[in-house]
Structure 1
């Protein structure tokens, strides 16, 4: 009896001791607490929600209890409670969280939250909510970024960031300056969407690291690494207008190398004229692009990648009765562009004790085009080489680099009598100094020597502060950007007759100074929702704008720096909410003022919106594996280019919006079928956007000796044929259907 009583007491004590309160903490892979992670007891459904530092408590737990831990952005985990108290649990980030690693702001891998430079990241999943056949169109749902059509006939365009025109935005592929000059117009199409990992965007000058053209902003398209890409992928989409877009991907391993092959094919051959101007509403296109990226598995573990792409496009817009026999003639108007383009780029980490990385890129762009009876043939070759060295010294992370860029350009317009060749070597240094756990200071300086403009210095300074709980972040950026203007552009195709190219003075490179203040607030709700608020205000001052003068002397084109200034300023607000059930909301607002001042006269920049908004709403129906996506944008009035005081077309665009709805069904094998409606409101610009579309060769237009138009009874508003009065696509509402699979 004595032993039985002892055993009973021991059993009761054990039970009591095993029912003590459990203390624990939920950490990410960096050892940082995960705010408001869910910790549930598997059998009962009871549990706890972690505090902002990841710590939690569960009262009266028995040893052996199975806990289920989950948090938004992390893979769930099950843990059996043992005798260890407190309990430490680590969760692995999901692919969505891993995509938060950025390289664009500082040219080194860093988490987005720790980067002193504000970088916006958009994953491939974000763009799937509104699938498009090109990167150019995909960016229409990014706050502060607007794809701008520049021609109603050929539908070419560029990308505006915070109201700044396309030439002030630098576009990179895997960190290499692939898209520039001529390819700014045509190079943003044909990049296989299925091979894009993410897109990183920096708003404001980035010339300290990336040199010329990174004046107003930077877009870096990151492609998938061959190792992480699916074995086979396919994405095929068709629209009710007859557009067909096909993306194919294939990965294979050969020896110690992994190859990722991608093919994009886009075809549209269905001329439509819904606005009745006898011109195509959407250009006919036949485009193929082949992309191949290799990654070698080296014994040292260092990176070695090389990639290449080839693109061919046949594009046409014009009068409906045009055929190839009319190309370059003056009977039927058409704009026909043949584009051949090749690219190669790569990264090689040298087998040295020092952390040295060699990057290179080269591309050739060849264009054979006609605009009515004006022939425009052009070629451009760009070579780029860069060597960087990274080294950590205490709390300093140093980046040293040298770069060389060579550009060769030639066309057959009267403005280009000799081949243009520009040599651009440069050196840069950057120091990221971690003052303490919550404060980081980054400084940088770049020196370039342009073969035309001489020496150029571009400094930058960035400061980041984070609150103790890491939920609040403030970034202050001050930087300088510059652009060596390429005066040989496609605009010269409009010139007739022989003109001499004259530089009034020694041209100075265009420069900008930018101040940007960014605030990010994260909130983790106890219901599992994650809310992010991102606000920025900026001021950018431009000097030395290079503008052509066609009027002073009819036999000359005179180039000179603008005797004045240009300004871009505004406020941007973005909010993201992700709910535990998978629903998400993204809303962005942008208010900006972009203008030039010359001789005391202030003029608002044409084709630049004052107000804009974007949104994306995703709602999953988990039981049916169906997702509903509603995306759209809205723009405030844009001042439009009129042909004179007698032009009776509206001087501004008014408010306009394009909205899209999509439904996606996911099957158990991962295959997806999607479809919906684009441009729900069926918005299109005015039918008279092309001035005198009935007289594209100005046969019934009378001119004064100075080139001005004479009003006549048949032309009372003194207009000429003009396709540049454009701000939105003429493509109206259409349905679309697609299928994608990834194995």
Structure 2
């Protein structure tokens, strides 16, 4: 995170009125106008390309977890589904954008943050708090907006990173993360191209030594291109395209990762393809008016398998003999009635299309009006092979308007309205928003914001993931009576630039959810290998807390520390797992959100003199509770359900790099890092084929060693 005021502001680009010139980088996400980060009334945080390089973070998931209030968590022991949690709210409440346009469809959110390379990113803007007024449904918790690089010269960058995780490896192939970026711009700077390719391989790792993976084997490759064309100083056109192909497999390890999925004891296998295309136009018609238009298409296709012999059995005697030899004393499930070779296999297709057109009218030096419309169409077809079929279309049309009023040198007010008509909601929804900045002095700002938003009754990423739980698989369907979830958010806090070295900022935050979405396990049908849960509305919930950040920089040294204390609570205890009245599958109720820490913390010390760079970073994850299905490891017979509480986790990462200038604009950088230095990892994970794979808490990976090589010319 960049300390506010630590950079000089770059000049404004095409398609916008030139912002005020003062210390601090330029951001756009909070208001849809280019503003200095010091001046914008909506609190915005920034992750720079320099910070990405310093921490050797080659994927989006790797860098955002160094941001205060953001946590990247794994939710499955078998397939390592990963998502961002912002101030206690999951990724389905967050709008993840590229250049202000959506890039994640409902399905892509399951694994997408591990598929976005950072080598093409100029900066990442983070706005915490409701963003639905400008960005529509699903921006309840906030916005993560990726600003891509604009080609400015001829440049090649090649990154190679090799890593090794502690634990039993499922093969000899090394973990690799390779990225190549080619950048070129014409001499007159009118057009440019940025092309890139990526490859990432992670070996399956068994941490608990039970012959089942905790780290999923993952093989990802892809590439993309960014084209820019500025026919004049007032017009900027850009086109981005990204394609990724990924295969991931987890569960029974070693040679079992290469056999047919339904012959493994327990396994999850996913093969996905993503295509993302984004086209944008920015046009500054005059000093008093500019507009921009964007069109994005995001397609995700997935072939999946969830299950294994522990869930469905297998009629082949050879399959059962192999398992009996490898796992003596472990019961092998008999084939269920109606067993077929296709049981557990599924296919999913998901297409999201978004058109967004907005304009800014600079009425006077003090008044700016922003207005526009956004239409969003999403289709999803999912055949799971487990009796669930989804074939649906979601359409949303939104109109929005926002007024920015600079009342004086001390006061600025932003207020706006958005109206949405969603195909699954009978009536239009109006979402107001307001933000106020008060600056009693040149070095102190107070910001207050209030916003509303909603989430429509749609199929989201977590609904399309099928969890292996104690020898059964859990499938989620939507209740026919499901209605939209509403939100109301407030935030208030200071930004104090104490002197040239020290900066302090903080925030009190509060969000109330009405008609909260929750998976109801009481709809399960007894006697089947599938747990049938139903997504319902379950009353209210609230998330509240305080965030404090302090940063210091002098010369080549920088230090940051951030801490968040928060609570995430339902209005009344909710049923998380189990069945009322059942002594074995006993009900577990909780008022606290599951798998949601009550505190977060980050700290980082860094040094960078352009030749040597190093950092020490710490990430605190507080206690959290999670439901746990306890089963006999050798038979899968359920013992009971419990609500278990994790300890605090404090992960230390360290890194060091050295850059050699080879002459003629050529640089070679060698880097080394150890992440999770003291191997903070969950120590009560379930073992064996009948484990509760959803009982996952704490850091995503065990101690991991990295070595990297970067060549630029």
Q: TM-score range by the shorter chain?
A: 0.7 to 0.9
Residue 715 of structure 1 is matched in structure 2 by none
CA distance in 2 between partners of 1:558 and 1:239 (Å) = 39
Residue 320 of structure 1 is matched in structure 2 by 253
Secondary structure of 2:32's aligned partner: coil
C-alpha change, 1:677 and 1:347, in structure 2 (3 Å) is same
How far has the Cα of 1:500 moved from its partner? 11
How far has the Cα of 1:235 moved from its partner? 1.7
Q: Is residue 250 from structure 1 mapped to residue 221 from structure 2 by the alignment?
A: no
- In 1, are the aligned partners of 2:629 and 2:641 still within 8 Å (CA)? no
Q: Which of 268, 283, 293 is the equivalent residue of 1:335?
A: 268
Q: Which of 356, 380, 398 is the equivalent residue of 2:291?
A: 356
Secondary structure of 1:180's aligned partner: coil
Secondary structure of 2:698's aligned partner: coil
Residue 142 of structure 2 is matched in structure 1 by 217
Residue 689 of structure 2 is matched in structure 1 by 695
How far has the Cα of 1:473 moved from its partner? 0.3
C-alpha change, 1:119 and 1:288, in structure 2 (3 Å) is same
C-alpha change, 1:523 and 1:493, in structure 2 (3 Å) is closer
Residue 164 of structure 2 is matched in structure 1 by 240
Q: Is residue 124 from structure 1 mapped to residue 49 from structure 2 by the alignment?
A: yes
Match runs of 1:354-433 below 5 Å: 354-373=289-308, 374-394=344-364, 395-413=366-384, 416-417=388-389, 419-433=391-405
How far has the Cα of 1:630 moved from its partner? 0.4
- In 2, are the aligned partners of 1:684 and 1:728 still within 8 Å (CA)? yes
Secondary structure of 1:265's aligned partner: strand
How far has the Cα of 1:673 moved from its partner? 1.6
C-alpha change, 1:452 and 1:177, in structure 2 (3 Å) is same
How far has the Cα of 1:584 moved from its partner? 0.3
- In 2, are the aligned partners of 1:616 and 1:632 still within 8 Å (CA)? yes
C-alpha change, 1:603 and 1:497, in structure 2 (3 Å) is closer
Residue 601 of structure 2 is matched in structure 1 by 613
Match runs of 1:159-308 below 5 Å: 159-227=84-152, 231-241=155-165, 242-253=174-185, 256-269=190-203, 271-299=204-232, 301-308=234-241
CA distance in 1 between partners of 2:93 and 2:674 (Å) = 33
CA-to-aligned-CA distance 1:418-446 (integer Å, 9 cap, x gap):
52101111100000011012210000100
CA distance in 1 between partners of 2:159 and 2:136 (Å) = 36
Q: Is residue 639 from structure 1 mapped to residue 609 from structure 2 by the alignment?
A: no
C-alpha change, 1:390 and 1:499, in structure 2 (3 Å) is closer
Residue 27 of structure 1 is matched in structure 2 by none
Match runs of 1:435-514 below 5 Å: 435-454=407-426, 455-468=428-441, 470-487=442-459, 489-491=463-465, 503=479, 505=481, 507-514=482-489
CA distance in 2 between partners of 1:741 and 1:331 (Å) = 42
Secondary structure of 1:606's aligned partner: coil
C-alpha change, 1:396 and 1:499, in structure 2 (3 Å) is closer
- In 1, are the aligned partners of 2:520 and 2:536 still within 8 Å (CA)? no
C-alpha change, 1:560 and 1:440, in structure 2 (3 Å) is same
CA distance in 2 between partners of 1:497 and 1:232 (Å) = 47
Secondary structure of 2:597's aligned partner: coil
CA distance in 2 between partners of 1:561 and 1:381 (Å) = 25
- In 2, are the aligned partners of 1:321 and 1:332 still within 8 Å (CA)? no
How far has the Cα of 1:407 moved from its partner? 0.3
CA-to-aligned-CA distance 1:611-664 (integer Å, 9 cap, x gap):
2211110134x5x93222101211221112212695598811101111111111
- In 2, are the aligned partners of 1:73 and 1:93 still within 8 Å (CA)? no
- In 2, are the aligned partners of 1:370 and 1:376 still within 8 Å (CA)? yes
CA distance in 2 between partners of 1:553 and 1:274 (Å) = 32
Q: TM-score, structure 1 length as denominator?
A: 0.78
Q: Which of 545, 562, 569 is the equivalent residue of 1:570?
A: 545
Q: Is residue 683 from structure 1 mapped to residue 680 from structure 2 by the alignment?
A: yes
Secondary structure of 2:498's aligned partner: strand
Q: Which of 593, 613, 616 is the equivalent residue of 2:567?
A: 593
Unaligned runs of 5+ in 1: 1-34, 36-70, 76-91, 697-720
Residue 170 of structure 2 is matched in structure 1 by none
C-alpha change, 1:383 and 1:648, in structure 2 (3 Å) is closer
CA distance in 1 between partners of 2:8 and 2:180 (Å) = 30
How far has the Cα of 1:518 moved from its partner? 1.8
CA distance in 2 between partners of 1:246 and 1:320 (Å) = 25
How far has the Cα of 1:575 moved from its partner? 0.9
How far has the Cα of 1:316 moved from its partner? 1.3
C-alpha change, 1:299 and 1:217, in structure 2 (3 Å) is closer
- In 1, are the aligned partners of 2:217 and 2:250 still within 8 Å (CA)? yes
Moved more, 552-561 or 163-172: 552-561
How far has the Cα of 1:334 moved from its partner? 2.0
Moved more, 726-735 or 308-317: 726-735
CA distance in 1 between partners of 2:176 and 2:135 (Å) = 36
C-alpha change, 1:447 and 1:722, in structure 2 (3 Å) is same
How far has the Cα of 1:350 moved from its partner? 5.0
Residue 693 of structure 2 is matched in structure 1 by 723
CA distance in 2 between partners of 1:635 and 1:499 (Å) = 29
How far has the Cα of 1:323 moved from its partner? 3.8
CA-to-aligned-CA distance 1:74-114 (integer Å, 9 cap, x gap):
59xxxxxxxxxxxxxxxx999xx66x211110111100111
Q: Which of 530, 535, 545 is the equivalent residue of 2:506?
A: 535
- In 1, are the aligned partners of 2:59 and 2:118 still within 8 Å (CA)? yes
Aligned-residue Cα RMSD (Å) equals 2.9
Q: Is residue 103 from structure 1 mapped to residue 78 from structure 2 by the alignment?
A: no
- In 2, are the aligned partners of 1:563 and 1:598 still within 8 Å (CA)? no
Q: Is residue 311 from structure 1 mapped to residue 244 from structure 2 by the alignment?
A: yes
CA distance in 1 between partners of 2:178 and 2:473 (Å) = 43
Q: Is residue 519 from structure 1 mapped to residue 464 from structure 2 by the alignment?
A: no
Match runs of 1:47-126 below 5 Å: 73=7, 100-126=25-51
Unaligned runs of 5+ in 2: 10-19, 166-173, 309-343, 575-588, 631-637
Higher relative contact order (CA 8 A, sep 6+): 2
CA distance in 1 between partners of 2:390 and 2:548 (Å) = 47
Aligned length: 617
How far has the Cα of 1:191 moved from its partner? 2.0
C-alpha change, 1:352 and 1:289, in structure 2 (3 Å) is same
CA distance in 2 between partners of 1:433 and 1:369 (Å) = 51
Secondary structure of 1:188's aligned partner: helix
Residue 14 of structure 2 is matched in structure 1 by none
CA distance in 1 between partners of 2:224 and 2:193 (Å) = 10
How far has the Cα of 1:597 moved from its partner? 1.8
Residue 9 of structure 1 is matched in structure 2 by none
Secondary structure of 1:163's aligned partner: coil
